[in-house]
Amino acid sequence: SAYIPVVIATWNVKQSTSKAWETIQNGGSALDAVEQGCRVEEADEKGQSVGKGGLPDREGHVTLDACVMNQHGDCGAVVYLKDITHAVSVARKVMEETPHVMLAGDGAKQFALSQGFQPENLLTEASKTAWEKWKIEAKYKPIINIENHDTIGMLAIDSKGDISGACTTSGLAYKMAGRVGDSPIIGSGLYVDNEIGACVATGLGEEVVKTVGSFLVVELMRQGKTPQQACEEAIGRIVNKPNSNYKDFQVGYIALNKKGETGYFAIHEGFTMTKYQDGVNEQLQSDFFNK
């Protein structure tokens, strides 16, 4: 059959898409690809919105949210996970090794340890210094595109034509303790339907959750929209609310359909998608609503 593999990811993460592409070329599944791709960013301490080196909450704790979803519609997620770098792999273990779809906090950490994950201090000196500087004024205001090139949502189609997705993040910098965003919430941060396509979100998670964004994008594709049209309509659903303050925050979606067509759209300038297809790994500037 003539399935053409493709990997797309939020932001500028060419090393991650490259790893995912290589995984598929070596016979890996779409799920293997998105997991391996996300792990590259999680391990990168320079990325201050994901995994090790992520910016902490207001109290100085780095807490991670992640999820995966495969071609069977199975999913797994961890929320408020501390001290474990590879949240995406813990999410996959939740899917494969437990009867549940989501584990939180201490339970998620205990489960990870039981699966052989090693505990690590995720607060790097750089992130600690940034947090201490932030504490002087302690203003809480989301900064548009602060997520740039770190938090990662990734979708892939493998050589069999199967679709999977993953999403991993340390969430919003200086969030309230206990805060969970869209990234580990199936239907909001990520959704995969192997018959139709998949979508993953980035940006201010609260706004994505309120509109169940990724599920919305996939359902719009089911109704015949292209991935591009679906992403644009889902952003429209956020910005066209009567009292939307969209000027103050960013949301971006990326999507693909079963044919391997892709789309991406954001509220503001500055969003990028990385795409690996036909042997070409490229960073693409997203079109945006607020012109």
17 included as an active-site residue: no
What's the closest the beta carbon of residue 277 comes to ligand SD4, in angstroms?
23
Would you say 15 or 226 has its CB closer to ligand SD4?
Answer: 15
| CA distance to 16, 72, 105, 208, 242, per residue, from 212 (Å) | 26, 20, 23, 6, 18
User: According to the binding rule CB under 6 A, does residue 56 interact with ligand SD4?
Assistant: no
- CB-based burial label for 138 (10 Å; 0-12, 13-18, 19+): exposed
**Amino acid identity at 15:** Q
Per-residue DSSP letter, 170: -
How many of the other CB atoms lie within 10 Å of CB of 215? 18
Closest listed residue to residue 167, CA positions, set 198, 123, 206? 198
Per annotation, catalytic residue among 10, 151, 168, 272: 151
Q: Closest distance between ligand SD4 and the C-beta of residue 115, in Å?
A: 24
Give the one residue of 16, 17, 36, 49 binding ligand SD4; rule: CB under 6 A.
49
Tokens read off for 21: 């592409």
Quick one: which of 37, 165, 203, 260 contacts ligand SD4 (CB under 6 A)?
Answer: 203
Of 16-24, 83-91, 126-134, 202-210, the segment contacting ligand SD4 by CB under 6 A is 202-210
- Closest contact distance (angstroms) between CB of 11 and ligand SD4 is 7
47 interacts with ligand SD4 by CB under 6 A: no
SS3 for 11? coil
Q: Exposed, middle or buried: residue 121 (CB in 10 Å: 0-12, 13-18, 19+)?
A: exposed
Q: Centre a 10 Å sphere on the Cβ of residue 105 and count the other Cβ atoms it contains.
A: 15
Q: Which of residues 153-182 bind ligand SD4 (CB under 6 A)?
A: 169, 171-172, 181-182
Query: Does residue 205 belong to the site contacting ligand SD4 (CB under 6 A)?
Result: yes
Report the distance separating Cα 26 and Cα 28, nearest Å: 6
- Minimum CB separation of residue 182 from ligand SD4 in Å reads 5
Which positions from 82 through 111 interact with ligand SD4, judged by CB under 6 A? none
In angstroms, what is the minimal distance from the CB of 41 to ligand SD4? 11
If binding is defined by CB under 6 A, does position 213 make contact with ligand SD4? no
Unique residue bearing structure tokens 């989501």: 102
Give CA separation, 227 vs 18, 30, 104, 133, 231, in Å.
22, 19, 32, 41, 6
3-class DSSP assignment, residue 33: helix
Q: Does 183 bind ligand SD4 (CB under 6 A)?
A: yes
> Which listed residue (127, 151, 164, 211) binds ligand SD4 by CB under 6 A?
151
Residues with catalytic function: 151
Interface positions with ligand SD4 (CB under 6 A) = 49, 147, 151, 169, 171-172, 181-183, 202-205
